[in-house]
Amino acid sequence: MAGVLFALAWWWRERDVVRHDPALSPVARRVLRESPGSLQMARSVRISAYAPDDAQAGAILDEAAFSLPEIAMHLGVEPPTQPIRIFLVASSNGWEGLVRATGSRPDGLAVSLRDEIFLRDGGVEAARPDRLAHELVHVVMRDAYGTNVPLWLDEGLAGHLGLAVSRDYRSKYGRRVTGKWAGLSGEEVETIEKLTQRRELPEDPAAARFFYRATQELVTLIENRIGSARMPAYVADVATGADWRVALDARLEGSPLSSADLEEALQRQVSLPQRF
């Protein structure tokens, strides 16, 4: 009898630890508390993944464990040493509460705060294959360069690198990531100067979509010009305050390329539908 009680007590404590990990933020605790069923956890040394079932938690852990060192390698930095926690938020009530608590966009697919990532479950958009890698790029950038990284660089890298890494991850299992972006035009289009000066996402959903797409294309164009080997130092310079254009032209000196026609190249890229 005592053994059974002890086992029960132990089991209870284990469940309790999952729910009340003292390192969890109030937002994460709320997500656990408001989840309709108890969340399952899959854990490695540095990553904990919480999801409604074991298979989902395991899949998130596997992808994150693959993506984190890849992303750090592309950026030329060390992966974060602090634990990262990832939550699949299954209920729409849970997501709405999260949006209210964090002041984030209701139309978002994911939110990352410090070392915690919240993924919205369900819906067509939630199935975007690059969203976990996208959020992990933000986590790695924040760990390496703090919270003052220019928004265009942070989102552009998350889009560009997130897609590349999620493709690598899926190709490991013989799967391909393919899709198509519609061409954008008209009033949504902003100049590079405006894009690179933004400190917040545009309120309007169409303008926000343009911002994500354009910053991703801008980072891709820059990488195509300077080459991927020079990207880590370029990112480090701009993330720590250098002017993006000055840092770019410095790396193109002596070549026929410059930043001069970038505006035109970017407008062309975003106006065309792109298959990937």
Which residues form the interface with Zn ion (CB under 5 A)?
A: 155, 158
| Closer residue to Zn ion (CB): 79 or 159 | 159
> 9: left (phi > 0), else alpha (psi -120 to 50), else beta?
alpha
Long-range pairs for 201-204 at CB < 8 Å and ≥24 separation? 201/105, 201/151, 201/155
> The tokens of 54 are what?
């074991």
Closest residue by Cα to residue 218 from 158, 266, 268: 266
Tokens 């729409």 locate to 92
| Closer residue to Zn ion (CB): 68 or 158 | 158
Minimum distance, C-beta of residue 161 to Zn ion, in the bound complex (Å): 11
Tokens 């592309």 locate to 74
Minimum distance, C-beta of residue 162 to Zn ion, in the bound complex (Å): 8
Minimum distance, C-beta of residue 127 to Zn ion, in the bound complex (Å): 17
| Closer residue to Zn ion (CB): 42 or 239 | 239
Phi and psi, residue 110, nearest 5°: -160, 155
**Side-chain-facing half-sphere of 206: CA atoms under 13 Å:** 9
Minimum distance, C-beta of residue 134 to Zn ion, in the bound complex (Å): 6
| Closer residue to Zn ion (CB): 31 or 158 | 158
